[in-house]
Amino acid sequence: MKIRHETKKLLSIEYIKIKSITGKEYFTDLYQDEIRSLMEEAGEKPFRGRQIFSWIHKKTTESIEDITELSEELRNWLKERAEISLLKVVKRTISKLDGTQKFLFELYDGNMIETVLMLNQDRKTVCVSSQAGCALNCTFCATGSMGFSRNLAAGEIIEQVLAVTRLTGARISNIVFMGMGEPFLNYHNVIKAANILNDQKGLDIGARHITISTAGINDKIEQYLTEKHKYKLAVSISAGTENLRRKLMPISRKYPLTKIRKTIRKNPGSGKPVTFEYVLMDGLNDTPEEISGLISLVRGLNAKVNLIPYNSHYKEFKTPPETRISEIAQMIHNAGVKVTVRRSSGSDIQAACGQLYSDVKYS
């Protein structure tokens, strides 16, 4: 109970220090440099920090006992002060349609999150959650209806990837921050997680294979672009007019499309194009008015459009027919805007975009 109380106090704080809650250092949450400094404090040579980092992130070990390069004495010393793994696997579901896997993990305080592994011929992509629940309440998203519990620490985001690697043996090639939660409302921990996942001494996921997606938190988009992070940025739009967007994504009242466009236009960031994600819903945002609004928004920016046909899980929203999806893609292409259509994976196990929902909550 004490832990839950402490967690509540931390909801609004960006820097989550797991040690202050569990009493032990959480190694998965630390940069190489941070582990190195810890080793120096312990009177060890700094290279021990790099060794431990590689065991955790390259060999995906979950127990200090298994780090046999360290002396028994040092391992015992560390076991009293640190731990590597805090996630518990509660459930693993595999799609009969396409082999997509969905994992339900329990966090140290009883909150639950979901993570998805998508398998393509040349890519193994993990979709990670960045928050337990989500406060933004987008009307078409199952996570939004859960409400918000708390931000995840960087280590809790990274451990989703490590756990999926351990459980499946897959060599992960891509990461998308598109699971539960709004990544830019947990900015510090999301950037830290991306940096650690990108570290060559660890999982070494290339920066162009890491995508961070936001529902349009404009001041954080500005910060991200100004800081010139090298990861791909995706902005979820899902309407071409402010009117409809305010209905679908309430956060739009605070951050309208015009503001987001202005921010992206004046900030080239690291030079990578921004992807505008557009969840296509039949008879709602697939009208000529909405699509021309989308085209006007994107045209002239270093950006492209990714159309995501809606995965039906609420009766009021439907997937448009295939012919309509192709027509819309063609219309956007003809307007000189780059466009792709993303086929969602794992819709039979509620693992597709907008379907993540944990009905087990403890907070």
Residues that bind ligand SF4 (CB under 6 A): 134, 136-138, 141, 143-144, 180-182, 215, 354
Minimum CB distance to ligand SF4 smaller for 137 or for 173: 137
Pairing status of strand 232-236 against strand 274-280: parallel
Q: Are residues 129 and 178 in contact, defined by beta-carbon separation less than 8 angstroms?
A: no
CB 311 → ligand SF4: shortest distance, Å? 12
Q: With contact defined as beta carbons under 8 Å apart, do 344 and 303 qualify?
A: no
CB of 194 to ligand SF4, least distance (A): 17
User: Is 277 annotated in the active site?
Assistant: no
Closer residue to ligand SF4 in complex, CB, 181/293: 181
211: number of CA atoms within 13 Å, CB side?
Answer: 19
Q: Which of 106, 114, 182, 277 is an active site residue?
A: 114
* Residue (of 192, 202, 173, 156) closest to 58 by Cα position: 202
- Minimum Å gap between C-beta 22 and ligand SF4 is 27
Q: Which is nearer to ligand SF4, 134 or 163 (CB)?
A: 134
In the chain the beta strands, taken as DSSP E runs, fall at: 25-26, 82-83, 88-94, 101-106, 112-119, 124-127, 131-133, 148-151, 174-177, 210-214, 232-236, 274-280, 303-309, 339-341
Instruction: Give the nearer residue to ligand SF4 in terms of CB position, either 86 or 146.
Output: 146
Question: What DSSP assignment string belongs to 223-253?
Answer: HHHHTT--SEEEEE---SSHHHHHHH-GGGG
Pick 180 or 212: Cβ nearer ligand SF4: 180
Write the DSSP symbol of residue 98. Answer: T
CA–CA dist 262, 265 (Å, integer): 5
Active site residue 114: yes
Residue 145 CB, shortest distance to ligand SF4, in Å, is 8
- d(CA 144, CA 133) in angstroms, rounded, equals 7
Alpha-carbon distances, residue 241 vs 169, 277, 297, 317, 340 (angstroms): 44, 15, 9, 18, 21
Q: In this complex, which beta carbon is closest to ligand SF4, that of residue 144 or of residue 269?
A: 144
CB of 358 to ligand SF4, least distance (A): 12
Q: CB of 148: closest distance to ligand SF4 in angstroms?
A: 9
How many degrees, rounded to 5, is the angle at CA 31 between CA 20 and CA 70? 90
User: Rg of the chain's alpha carbons, rounded to an integer?
Assistant: 21
Place of tokens 């998203």: 141
Choice between 81 and 318, CB closer to ligand SF4:
318
Please give the single-letter amino acid code of residue 137: N
CA 21 vs CA 13, 18, 87, 153, 202: distances in Å: 14, 5, 15, 12, 26
Residue 309 Cβ vs ligand SF4, minimum distance, rounded to whole Å: 15
Please check whether residue 111 is in contact with residue 362, taking contact to mean a CB–CB distance below 8 angstroms. yes
**Active site positions, annotated:** 114, 353
